[in-house]
């Protein structure tokens, strides 16, 4: 992983990502505008949100979706989970309107 201030000559050329999985090292959720809010009553545990989440922000265990742990702040608020939900169990809510 590159450190801030790494000289450009030491960086990988042309968009090559030399190390995968670095998103988990960053608090990327601090700049999101919207966050997904799941309605437990509507959720059928189809796992579409879990499969499509590009940030690995949705927790699943024991055959059920457990939610998005906002304290881990990997969710960037892209809305893919809400878009793919067949039961409209996920709505995107402005970050400023959410209660933690």
- Where exactly are the structural domains of the chain? 25-97
- Residues with Cβ < 8 Å from 20, sequence gap 6 or more? none
pLDDT at 98 over 60: yes
d(CA 27, CA 37): 19
Write out the CATH class of domain 25-97. alpha beta
Q: What digits encode the pLDDT tens for the residues 4-59?
A: 888 888 877 776 766 666 656 667 667 788 989 999 999 999 999 999 998 888 88
Its pTM stands at 0.70
- Find the largest Cα–Cα distance for the chain: 54
């Amino acid at each position: 992983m590159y450190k801030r201030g790494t000289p450009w000559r030491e960086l990988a050329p042309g968009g090559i990502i030399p190390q995968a999985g670095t998103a988990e090292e960053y608090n990327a959720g601090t700049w999101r505008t919207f966050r997904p809010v799941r309605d437990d009553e509507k959720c059928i545990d189809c796992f579409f949100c879990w499969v499509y989440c590009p940030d690995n922000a949705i927790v699943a265990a024991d055959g059920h979706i457990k939610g998005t742990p906002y304290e881990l702040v990997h969710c960037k608020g892209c809305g893919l989970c809400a878009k793919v939900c067949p039961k409209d169990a996920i709505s995107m809510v402005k970050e400023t309107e959410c209660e933690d």
